[in-house]
A and B are shown apart, each in its own frame.
Chain A
Amino acid sequence: MPIPMPYYLEKGPLFAVLESYINTGPDSRLVDALKKFRKGDPWESFEVLGSGSLKNPNQRDAADWVKHLHQHCFGKAPDGKGNWVQQPFHPVTNPQTGYWLGYYGDVDSIVRETFIRLLEVALGVDHDTNPNTPIVPTRRWPVVFLWKCSQSWFEGWVTWHRRGNGPKDGEVTVIWATPSVEGSIVLDSPLAGRNLAEYRVDPISTKTGPPWGGAAAVEATQGMWVVTHERNKPYAGSAVTTTAGSPKGQWPSPMPGRVCAEGRVVTVAPSMADGGVLAEGLAFTPPT
């Protein structure tokens, strides 16, 4: 099971590398990917999952990433014939897709359709369900990915903004809005993240510098800051117990998940391990 990311909004290494893959290289890279998605090609055929940048002790290679996607994200299992299959919904024996808490749905199809739509917008081509339709890009807009979790069902959001009439004058922002995953946590303080080198509290500019590494401060290519209270404390259970005695008709409120914020408002740049970004991103490197 992956180590949970502890904030409500994340990017992290997978989407950082995916951004690098989509936003660099020739147009044919995106055209080929769109063709594959339109044809319904298996996830194994997408080279980005084999990137050297994604190799770490938990997901070593493309096969591990594909297995992770199928098992945890899409709720599928091998059928013994070389296929990954999702079992039908059952409220007791199969109530949930993969590791998405309390949610059953066809996540594979949602993800694929989201990729089709975002690639079509980025390339400036009309939507087409025919996999044989030629793809002729009219532009190349960069794509940004964010992952927001803790909602009740799975959604892929594709938003875009034209900035001019040139082929690069615009951008696409994709938000994966999902349920929580099994083992999910959220830190009650943004200051409690894993203290890697790129982490810092109260950044004063968008320039990099100690402790981000490098002697000379330079403008960061990417940034992702969170602004919130130092601590967001759930009420202690004993303070809101609904079983405490009270006079007739005066019922304690049963509202769950109440939070009382404490301390000053801070600005924090989470580490990549916690879902943040590196100042220079995380570049796609080809599979080896």
Chain B
Amino acid sequence: MDTDRAVALAREDVDAGVGRWLPATADLEIDLSGPVGDSAFIAVRWVHRGTNTGADDPFLGLAPTGDLVEVHGVTLVEDCGDAEPVFHRFVDWVGVFDQLGMAVGGRLTVSEHPGQIGSPPDA
């Protein structure tokens, strides 16, 4: 697969995966200096900017905020020969959650209490 083909496929994949809840306000920005790899895997670096609408297909079931959101990612486009290509996406989801205002609880879930049995009470 050549890099132009990989870039085009990555663009279509981002439009289909992100554009549903984040319709683009500008053309998908592809780092044209970035596509690297061999014939089997090509890495495409991209930035997608859009407005968080998409009430019919909301992101994670969340109500659209109407805010401008910027998504950064890299897609590895895998050439599978005669089969359809496969996409491996590395996306800055933490940045997306932050821009959407999603809260993080900050507690680690554990199966055992680190305190000893009979530990003194605390507050």
Contact = CB atoms under 8 A, between A and B. Distances in A.
Contact of A185 (B89, B93, B109, B120): B109
A194 B118 contact: yes
Interface stretch (A84-92, A120-128, A253-261): A253-261
B121 A272 contact: yes
A12 B122 contact: yes
A192 interface: yes
Given A242-B93, A273-B121, A188 B86 contact: no
Determine chain A's interface SS by DSSP, over half rule.
Answer: loop
Interface stretch (B11-19, B32-40, B47-55): B11-19
Given A192-B111, A248-B87, A274-B113, A150 B105 contact: yes
B107 A256 contact: no
A219 to B, nearest CB: 24
Contacts of A192: 111-113
A143 interface: no
B26 interface: no
A102 B102 CA distance: 12
Nearest to B62: A255
A59 to B, nearest CB: 8
Interface residues of B, number: 40
Contacts of A253: 60
A246 B84 CA distance: 10
Contacts of A204: none
A142 interface: no
Nearest to A197: B118
Interface of A: 2-6, 12-15, 56-59, 101-102, 149-152, 179-180, 184-189, 192-196, 232-234, 242-251, 253-257, 259, 272-274
15 contacts: A12-B121, A12-B123, A101-B106, A150-B106, A185-B108, A186-B109, A187-B112, A194-B117, A232-B109, A234-B109, A243-B90, A247-B84, A248-B85, A249-B13, A251-B18
